[in-house]
Amino acid sequence: MSEPVRSTPGSLPLSRLAEPLLRRLSELLDRAAPGKGWRDLAQRAGSRGRVRLSPLDLEQCSLKVLEPEGSPSWSLLKLLGDRGCTVVELVEFLQALEHTEALQCLSHSGSLIGLPENKLRICIQPQPQNLTVGDALVLECGAVGNPIPHYQWFRNGFPLANGSKNVYMVTYVDVEHQGTYWCRVFNDREDQDSKKIEVVIGRKAMAVECAEEDLSDLQKPADLQEQSNDRPVATDKVALLIGNMSYWNHPQLKAPMVDVYELTNLLRQLDFKVVSLLDLTESEMRNAVDEFLLLLDKGVYGLLYYAGHGYENYGNSFMVPVDAPNPYRSANCLCVQNILKLMQEKETGLNVFLLDMCRKRNEYDDTILILDALKVTANIVFGYATCQGAEAFEIQQSGLANGIFMKFLKDRLLEDKKITVLLDEVAEDMGKCHLTKGKQALEIRSSLSEKRALTDPIQQTISSAESLARNLQWAKAHELPESRYLEFKCGVQIQLGFAAEFSNVMIIYTRIVKKPPEIVVCRAYVTDFALDLDVDPKEANKGTPEETGSYLVSKDLPKHCLYTRLSSLQKLREHLIFTVCLHYEYPGIEDTMDERKEVNVGKPLIAKLGLHHVFKNNNCLQTCCMANNPFHNQIESSPVATKYYVPSHCQPNSCPGIYHPNHICSDSIRQPEACSCNGTSRILASRHEVQNYSPPVEKSNVPVETTDDTVELEFLLSDNLRFSKQQ
């Protein structure tokens, strides 16, 4: 009689893992870098026929992000466990994703002790390929082992220069790619070769025979051809979200932070590459748009969302940076129509602009921009949060804020509908809101003729140089420093972790993970940050994320830590270097002991893109360049042709002051003593106005209106505006 099979920890289903461990794994997957998140894990697991994850399964997981304590990764891990996925299989998937932090988490928990993958083992073998010239070659090899294995691909006995990953890919093959392939897997202890497979490359046929009835199909009416249920596809989806709140010379806002955060989470569920930024100056906004343009290519869906101050003159919309002077003019702002023109030059498949700002006329700006005509395309959609000449409002309750537009948009954004149909329904929802009826109504402008939706699938084409640049830029803008452990001479060990709230806002958290018993008091904190970041020591090293101003990701951060919020990472000029200070005491000794360690984490998140440079590129149109106007005489000229007309009644001598880019008089920079977001009795506040705000010049650049519709607060907002119930 054969001996009974002894089960190892690796043969256990995931459902048998302890809940704290599953929670920790979920946290790591929820905030993982591109290519290592829960969707990537689901794709790996779904490629195994035994697991079988349907699109509905993934949708149910993604919708968990809308619940107060919901986690897509937690839902996925529970689903995999229920379907019999084992710990050893999870390790295979994580190693294929090269998710070292999650693997370390399993190792530290003891879940990997005794697993067979401690010995190097190839679990996914490459498969033979029969291709034609122009096809894509994709070979995959998967292995488990401890230490984590490395890979090297070979063809005809020679190592391949770009073959150091578990997947080897050639986007466009030719006959020279034919041959015998295999992969060598190795770590510090041993190595193995995969099985050798043949890749055969054939020539493409120059002509295709077809019957007469096949040709007749080409003459069928369009409505019959559409019965094939084919739907439009995107070659990629990218989005730039900008929320400006902390204005130097104008009323402060609150809603853009919440609106940008919520829209970021929703768009990522729709597979958008999202760059989300708060509080940008003029040069930073222009450079951010330049980087956004690099993400675009033929067939890409591009989405730009802006929340903040704005205005509309002569049919052109202008987004106002946080450093705009008072009064501001077109030279100080970004023209949306100019950005659209530059997007069209990329031959994008869909251009969506969601502008959550006021559209009142700017009486201080009489410059008329005569833009080159836009291309006639059927792919442009504008969603204006309010009508021309009207204001956009944000809702406020107990210090929290939402824009009216985003309140209704977020409830429908994930629906699989043509984007114009979706926005029409949002407009109907907004029309039922008693607080803003007669004050704000969504306006939609569109040239869209195809049934394109934000939910359209991505079908990547042959990788071009632009595509590679797009993915590189996106990856660079979302790269967080890796968590690390610091060892001090006294025997104390500190964990240093990082989380992203926005693409330019990062949370640093520290906690003591090991302390010798002879030390009675021990505290670690971070300090000595670069002056570029302007970190207030009074708001650093707090016991809760909320105390630092970070309300949106607090539930996703580890507990019992000290938290520091670093905003405006786009201003970081050098590597982020700071000091970790350790204070500790021994019993019977009154003196406090100190140790310090300097930490260099490179340039995290958006800091890598160098948005702090003044007008780094000239791709983004400078909206005014008139030599005779003192407000314009220092603005760089534009590569895109734009003409200007200044009416005779607005000559330079009539202008109340001179604006010098990149120079702000210190006397004119002041924070408002009271703004619309401070009063809890106000439900609605305009994107333009604030009560009791005293601008630094004699007359405000923005209109001032008030609204006192407070009686409907509970009816409208009771379930939408508490941070505890947000994503």
Q: Give the homologous superfamily in CATH for domain 121-202.
A: Immunoglobulins (2.60.40.10)
Average pLDDT over residues 18-25: 84
Spell out the SS3 assignment of 435-452. CCCCCCCCEEEECCCCCC
The answer on pLDDT for 369 being more than 90 is no
**What is the DSSP secondary-structure string of 81-125?**
HHTT-BHHHHHHHHHHTT-HHHHHHHHHHTTTTT-GGGS-EEEE-
Q: What percent of the chain has pLDDT over 90?
A: 29
| Mean per-residue pLDDT, 19-27 | 85
pLDDT of residue 372: 65
Does 352 or 376 have the greater pLDDT score?
352
**pLDDT on residue 249:** 93
Q: What is the average per-residue pLDDT within 293-303? A: 89
Q: What is residue 36's predicted lDDT score, i.e. its pLDDT?
A: 84
Which of these CATH numbers, 3.40.190.10, 3.40.50.720, 1.10.533.10, 2.40.128.720, describes 9-115?
1.10.533.10
Catalytic, out of 99, 250, 309, 612: 309
Query: Residue 684: its pLDDT value, please?
Result: 61
Burial class (CB within 10 angstroms; exposed 0-12, middle 13-18, buried 19+) of 633: middle
Task: Please tell me the least confidently modeled range out of 431-445, 596-610, 625-639.
Answer: 625-639
Candidates 2.60.40.3360, 1.10.510.10, 2.60.40.10, 3.40.50.300; CATH matching 484-609? 2.60.40.3360
- How many residues appear in the chain? 727
Residue appearing with tokens 């691909």: 153
Q: State residue 557's pLDDT score.
A: 85
pLDDT at 635 over 60: no
**Protein fold of 233-460+615-661+663-727:** Rossmann fold (3.40.50)
What integer pLDDT is reported at residue 525 of this predicted model? 92
What mean pLDDT do residues 440-461 have? 88
Give whichever of 233-247, 364-378, 554-568, 680-694 has the largest mean pLDDT. 233-247
DSSP 463: -
pLDDT tens digits along 381-406: 998 988 887 777 777 655 567 788 89
Closest CA to 266 of 276, 281, 279: 276
Q: Which two tokens stand for residue 394?
A: 């944000």
Give the Cα separation of 631 and 661 in Å (integer): 9
Active-site annotation holder among 105, 183, 333, 358: 358
Q: What is the rounded CA–CA span in Å between residue 567 and residue 565?
A: 6
Mean pLDDT (whole number) for 584-588: 88
Q: Which two tokens stand for residue 514?
A: 């090991």
* Distance, CA of 297 to CA of 287 (rounded, Å): 18
Residue 7 has pLDDT above 80, yes or no: no
370 pLDDT tier (thresholds 50, 70, 90): low
Mean pLDDT: which of 302-311, 529-538, 550-559 is highest?
A: 302-311
pLDDT at 631 over 80: no
**Pairing between strand 179-186 and 197-202?**
antiparallel
Catalytic residue flag (residue 309): yes
pLDDT given for residue 133 in this prediction: 86
What integer pLDDT is reported at residue 505 of this predicted model? 92
Mean pLDDT of the 282-299 span? 90
**Greater pLDDT, 67 or 311:** 311
Residue 575, pLDDT above cutoff 80: yes
Domain spans, the chain: 9-115, 121-202, 233-460+615-661+663-727, 484-609
How much is the mean pLDDT over the chain?
A: 76
> Span 663-675, mean pLDDT?
32
For the chain, the helix, strand and coil percentages under 3-state DSSP, each to the nearest 5: 25, 25, 50
Span 680-705, average pLDDT: 41
**pLDDT greater than 80 at residue 647:** no
Q: Give me the pLDDT at residue 621, please.
A: 44
Assess whether 358 carries a catalytic annotation.
yes
User: 349 or 116: which carries more pLDDT confidence?
Assistant: 349
Using one digit for the tens of pLDDT, what is the confidence trace for 115-159? Answer: 444 678 787 788 999 998 888 898 988 777 777 788 899 999 888
The proportion of the chain whose per-residue pLDDT surpasses 70, expressed as a percent, equals 73
Are 121-202 and 484-609 equal in CATH topology? yes
